[in-house]
Amino acid sequence: MRFITHIHLEGGRRLEHISRVRWRDGLMTGTSTRQQMVEWIEDGGDARVQALPVDARVEVVNARPAYLRSAPNGSVVDNLLSLPEF
């Protein structure tokens, strides 16, 4: 399971402005473009954001271009946009 830990925004402050993400997967860490993460999830990858009350699964929004969002998990804030920026 890959946990997204940081986001990089370009051109605005909404979900569709996330251009890159930092992640960790066990002992591995990395940075991916939005498109790379979209493709990884569409190929069956499981991405999450650590959050309370439960971790939020990251989904792909079928738009042009596709972008990422977190699935509802009972939190009142958007989990991806709440992450630290880099």
- Is residue 82 included in any domain, yes or no? no
Q: Are 81 and 12 in contact (CB under 8 A)?
A: no
- Is residue 81 included in any domain, yes or no? no
pLDDT at position 25 is: 97
pLDDT at position 75 is: 67
- Is residue 77 included in any domain, yes or no? no
pLDDT at position 76 is: 57
Q: How many domains does the chain have?
A: 1
pLDDT at position 44 is: 98
DSSP 17: G
Q: Are 21 and 68 in contact (CB under 8 A)?
A: yes
d(CA 66, CA 85) in angstroms, rounded, equals: 20
| 24-79 pLDDT, tens digit each | 999 999 999 999 999 999 999 999 999 877 889 999 999 999 999 998 776 656 79
* Bridge partners, residue 83, by sequence: none
- Is residue 41 included in any domain, yes or no? yes
pLDDT at position 72 is: 76
Residue 40: which domain range?
2-70
Average pLDDT over residues 9-36: 97
- Is residue 75 included in any domain, yes or no? no
